[in-house]
Amino acid sequence: MDAQFWTYLLVGVTFSLYIGIAIWSRAQSTKEFYIASGGIHPVLNGMATAADWMSAASFISMAGIISFLGYGGSQYLMGWTGGYVLLALCLAPYLRKFGKFTVPDFIGERYYSKNARTIALICAIFVSFTYVVGQMKGVGVAFSRFLEIPYDLGVIIGIGIVFFYAVLGGMKGITYTQVAQYCVLIFAFTVPAIFISLQATGNPIPQIGFGSKTTDGVYLLEKLNQLSVDLGFEKYTDINQTTLINVFFITAALMFGTAGLPHVIVRFFTVPKVRDARISAGWALLFISFLYTTAPAIAAFAKVNLINTVSNAQYSEVPKWFKNWENTGLLQFDDKNADGVIQYVADEQVNELTIDRDIMVLANPEIANLPPWVIGLIVAGGLAAALSTAAGLLLVISTSISHDLLKKNINPNISEKGELWAARISIAVAVVAAGLAGLNPPGFVAEVVALAFGLAASSFFPAIILGIFDKRMNKEGALSGMIVGVVFTTIYIFYFKPQLGGPGLPKDYLFGISPEGIGTIGMIINFIISLVVSRLTKPTPENIKELVESIRYPK
């Protein structure tokens, strides 16, 4: 049985499982649709949160980035995990005690303003939509290669699956589906890593294999350093001092963006008690660590195997996996000197091989010549990662429209049944729109996701953290800060992203900060504007100060 058979089998079984869970746990009320009635056990919520947050960027793209950037790719590891610690300590328990459905709910109530709620819901939709586009690309990449169908058709299939269980089950269905998806994705990520670590170093634990000697007696990272230098690249473990400031700002944007992501924050409204919010954040961090401590090992193994397989190889003799990925357009060989030999080097004038970073994790089992069922398993895992996050993001878009816009602003007297229908219709529209945008995403998966984190950092994080810890923060300050922060970040991203039509060039970056890290500057601007404006305008009403007291301190 070949890899394609195993792929169809494992993807079919897991998709059937997700659909079955959605039917079993379909939402009957708006409370079930928005926050699963607030009755999810902390351990299950931690598992669902981990799946919600470990998107296609974590599963498919992160190890690929580390493969190509080496030490420089650690910004993604540090930023995304550090953000969860910040979230668990500074936000989760307080927002759960507040006890509403959404982040715009908190912003609207805390800043006693419909305008604040409206700005927050626009930001929530904007951030979530940017993020979900990256997930759609991940779905398309996995389907196009392993089911041997066009990329566009792969995205459409992903839309159909998410459409079914998100529209039917809402948060209740999504939560239990995400528990299953976590089990699938973590098993799929670690099994190939164990195989490859055993194959390369004789040690079955990838985290230990990462620092071990390979079968030829050379330490893995020393071997990778030498291979990189031989091809004209920097040492894999070297720090590029010229980009250090950019690494810092990207790490900070990912960290503060994590703590401001609406689809992650809303998960802490689904547990029964305030204490459970902090506990579930701890469980989530543990579940996330299984993947994040394995990713650097996978990155190193994949890079060594890739170089050994294709560098200076005769094109006529390359393995079958090379031709398969070439057919997808995600791997390209341009024989510049017509000698039939693949030149993979740092010099762009000589280099003949172009590799999309997003293929590294998915291609890794094939490069290492692992059994066909392992290849099928990793496809099922990649799809689980992309679909679990996509569902959580689409639910944020849905609740922002049906609850924050329709019920809170346009029609406060809408019936529960009407609101539930509005939520389902809005999530259906969002699924289709995200899928269409995913057909032509503005970059590789982790890059698109990093932009979403920057937008979250520059818009939500200051408003939420100041809303909890600064009783003097008023609506004028929060509104001004959010608008200026997100507008600055958005303009910078559009200006320096050629895929979005921007004319800007990297040499013109502000302080050398790329669009992926500019959210940190946007956040700082947000903080400054918020604090200055709040001190120059009328003070916060007494009832809002009491609300802040009730959130921060137990009675």
- Assign 3-class secondary structure to 132-195: HHHHHHHHHHHHHHHCCCCHHHHHHHHHHHHHHHHHHHHHHHHHHHHHHHHHHHHHHHHHHHHH
Helix (H, G, I), strand (E, B) or coil at 308: helix
- The answer for residues whose C-beta is within 8 angstroms of residue 193's C-beta and 6 or more apart is 206, 294, 297, 298, 301
Residue 213: phi and psi, rounded to 5, are -80, 145
Task: Return the residue matching tokens 């509005």.
Answer: 422
Q: What is the model's pLDDT at position 480?
A: 94
Block residue for tokens 């219709």: 425
Tell me the pLDDT tens digit for each residue of 193-214: 999 999 889 899 999 999 888 8
Crossing angle for the helix pair 416-438 and 114-146, to the nearest 10 degrees: 50
* Cα dihedral 268/173/362/289 (nearest 10): 30
Helix boundaries (H) for 266-415: 274-292, 295-310, 320-328, 360-367, 372-399
Q: How many CA atoms lie within 13 A of 112 on its CB side?
A: 15
For residues 513 and 495, the answer to whether their CB atoms sit within 8 Å is: no
Report the distance separating Cα 57 and Cα 258, nearest Å.
13
Tokens 């869970």 found at: 21
The 3-state secondary structure of 246-281 reads HHHHHHHHHHHHHCCCHHHHHHHHCCCCHHHHHHHH
CA–CA separation, 427 and 225 (whole Å): 47
pLDDT of residue 177: 81
Q: And the tokens for 449?
A: 């996701």
CA–CA separation, 194 and 203 (whole Å): 8
In whole angstroms, how large is the CA radius of gyration of the chain? 23
Q: What is the pLDDT of residue 477?
A: 94
DSSP-assigned letter for residue 538: P
Confidence at residue 101, expressed as pLDDT on a 0 to 100 scale: 64
The number of residues in the chain equals: 555
Tokens (6 digits) for 346: 């740092």
Q: Which of 532, 539, 555 is nearest to 471 (CA)?
A: 539
pLDDT of residue 407: 76
Q: With a cut of 50, list the residues of the chain below it in pLDDT.
A: none
CB atoms within 10 A of CB 216: 7
> Which DSSP letter does residue 554 get?
-
Residue with tokens 């289709």: 432
Q: How many CA atoms lie within 13 A of 290 on its CB side?
A: 19
Backbone φ and ψ for 341, nearest 5 degrees, come out as -105, 135
